[in-house]
Amino acid sequence: MPQIFPEWTNKAPLYLVGGLVAAALVVPLGIWYYFSPEYTDVGYQPVQPVPFSHQLHAGELELDCRYCHAQVEVSAVASVPPTQVCMNCHQLVVRDSPQLAVIRDSMASGLPVEWVRVHNIPDYAAFDHSVHVAAGVGCSSCHGDIRGMEVVTQMEPLSMAWCLKCHRDPGPHLRERDQITNTTWKPGRNQAAFAAQVIEERQIRPPEDCSSCHR
């Protein structure tokens, strides 16, 4: 009597089991990477209502970060500058530029410009800019070289694992306070010794318990 199924079907159960085992390994790994902040968030570059260039303002013109982000040293938030801060310069500088129409409309109406937030953390996590600045962690440790960006782009994942890595070893990110806003800063040769001294002097003890960030 001729066989109904071809000979290769004898190995079908083996292929099926092998495929299921492979899927059980590949699918979680794929989710772990492609659903992680390193993949979904790094590189985020939203379109803003006004094409504001940090490369021009903070880079070429050398405006201090704190001129616009005035609360960063004393508040949990860095703060987005109100329209009046923009108009301090643009009442005279390229005041009629079409690119500044949104700014002029905001000034006339009293309504704030609806900037799109780039660096987001979940509502269930707390982050305090002033604490990190006081410790000696500079802007570029989290935001990258903002002064070189034409359009602000998220450079770090801002994930819990990323934060904990710094809390467990803050030394590479600590710097002199006059270098806080230097977005091209790099650790020097004696960074380890400097960091050890700063950690002792400033009593830096980054917490690692859940309640420190999840309140």
29 and 121 inside one domain = no
Are residues 129 and 39 both part of a single domain?
no
Residues 30 and 122 occupy one common structural domain = no
Closest alpha carbon to 36 in 185, 161, 203, 145: 161
Confidence check: pLDDT of 6 > 80:
no
Regarding whether 184 and 144 lie in a shared domain, the answer is yes
pLDDT of 21 > 60? The answer is: yes
pTM as predicted = 0.83
The three-class DSSP label of residue 188 is coil
Domain containing residue 157: 54-80+115-212
Q: What is the pLDDT of residues 79-124, one digit of tens each?
A: 999 999 999 999 999 999 999 999 999 999 999 999 999 999 999 9
In the structure encoding, which two tokens stand for residue 203, read together? 């009593």
Using alpha carbons, select from 82, 203, 70 the residue that is nearest to residue 134.
203
Give the span between the Cα atoms of 26 and 110, in whole angstroms. Answer: 54
Q: For the beta carbon of residue 98, count every other beta carbon within 10 angstroms.
A: 7
Residue with tokens 């710094």: 166
Does residue 95 form part of some domain? no
Q: Say yes or no: 142 and 197 in one domain.
A: yes
Does 181 reside within a domain?
Answer: yes
